[in-house]
Copies of this chain bind each other. A is one copy, B any other.
Amino acid sequence: MELTERKKKILRAVVERYIQTAEPIGSKALQELTGLNVSSATIRNELADLTEQGYLEQPHTSAGRVPSPKGYRLYVNELMEEQRLSLEETRQINDALHLKMQELDKVIDQAGRMVSQLTNYPAFALAGNPRRPTIKRFDLILVDSASFIAVVMTDGNVVKNKLFRLPTDLSEPQLQLLTTLLNAAFVGKTLDQLTPELMRVAEHAAGASYGLISLVVSFAMEVLDSMENSAVYTAGASHILDHPEYQDLGKAQKLMSYLTEEQSLAKSLALPALNDDGAKILIGPENVAEELKDSSVVLASYDIGDGMKGVIGVVGPTRMDYAKVAAKLSYVADGLSKLFGAPKLPPVGPDKEKEE
């Protein structure tokens, strides 16, 4: 049941015009827009067909046509021309990719903000790791006689630290013993495997400073925990107010809270996308979450390295500018993958490139 070329041309014109104006399009406007040399009556006939087949909808009998989710889907799959980013745009993105302070969660957060700013839609970003994270290494640094820094590194090469202050004194040999012990007992373990028994054994071995073991290990557990339940960062939620479809305050607020409740909600949306490459587009009712049923989502995933993946996504009205958004999102995702994938540094010179 392929559509005729003419029908496609009309459908495409409807979608693209609607994306711009958010207003129903009538037969007369389409006559000009499509450049077809037929009368408006002919177009009306075609529109009637497209409506019957479910590609278009009529808000009410005497209004123009509006694309249905099915219509958007066809547009996205077949009619949409891949958007080339302008030089200005790529430059803008490249500049923004030059992030500072590249602790993993900062980069993710920043990526979300960036995407939101680039697209003028609310955006979110998260990272997911397919395996369960484990501790790769402990280091303890003595600061002064009453405090030390614990540095924990996980198998995803995420490094976290924390300063501990103690009411009792502490010596360098003591700390070295502890470090050895910690590394011997807990490296390679997942969160689950850090059992109380294991702790007890290690504490026993630590002698007088056994209390410190649990301090450092519970810090390590927090790190592992936070990596398993990777945070979702959202940005630019206020952008939804830019679009007339969210003039209805109720709708706007529902979507807003959905977006800001960084809970499992946004995760359940994005995690399935972790394994798909390239941009993925979810239109209106294709979304599982009730709150997104009349919005659309564009997702792109990127490689963080060490098997970890990240997802950036954009939420907007169903009439969102898919071509442009998908192009930008893919470009950013590619850029991020490269950023993470090419960590080699020149051994010399004040080069600025680094990575987490």
Question: Which residues of A does B touch, CB under 8 Å?
Answer: 100-103, 137, 139, 141, 143, 149, 151, 153, 157, 159-168, 199, 209-212, 214-215, 218-219, 222-223, 225-226, 235-238, 241-242, 247, 249, 252-253, 256-257, 259-260, 343-352, 354-356
Contacts and interface: CB of A to CB of B under 8 A. Distances in A.
Contacts of A238: 237, 253, 256-257, 259-260
A241 B248 CA distance: 11
B139 A149 contact: yes
Contacts of A102: 162
Grouping DSSP codes into helix (H, G, I), strand (E, B) and loop, the A interface class, with mixed when no group exceeds half, is mixed
A350 B214 contact: yes
A48 B345 CA distance: 75
Contacts of A167: 344-347
Contacts of A237: 237-238, 260
Contacts of A218: 350, 352
Contact of A164 (B163, B242, B349, B354): B354
B165 A159 contact: no
Number of copies: 2
A345 B164 contact: yes
Contact of A157 (B100, B163, B256): B163
Contacts of A352: 218
Nearest to A147: B157
27 contacts: A101-B160, A101-B226, A102-B162, A103-B160, A139-B141, A157-B163, A160-B161, A161-B161, A162-B354, A162-B356, A163-B355, A163-B356, A165-B344, A165-B355, A166-B344, A166-B345, A166-B347, A210-B348, A211-B350, A212-B347, A215-B350, A218-B350, A237-B238, A238-B256, A238-B259, A241-B249, A241-B253
Nearest to A142: B139
A272 B131 CA distance: 47
B247 A165 contact: no
B226 A349 contact: no
Contact of A222 (B100, B199, B211, B241): B100
Contacts of A256: 238, 241
A168 B347 contact: yes
Contacts of A222: 100-101
Nearest to A165: B343
Contacts of A214: 349-351
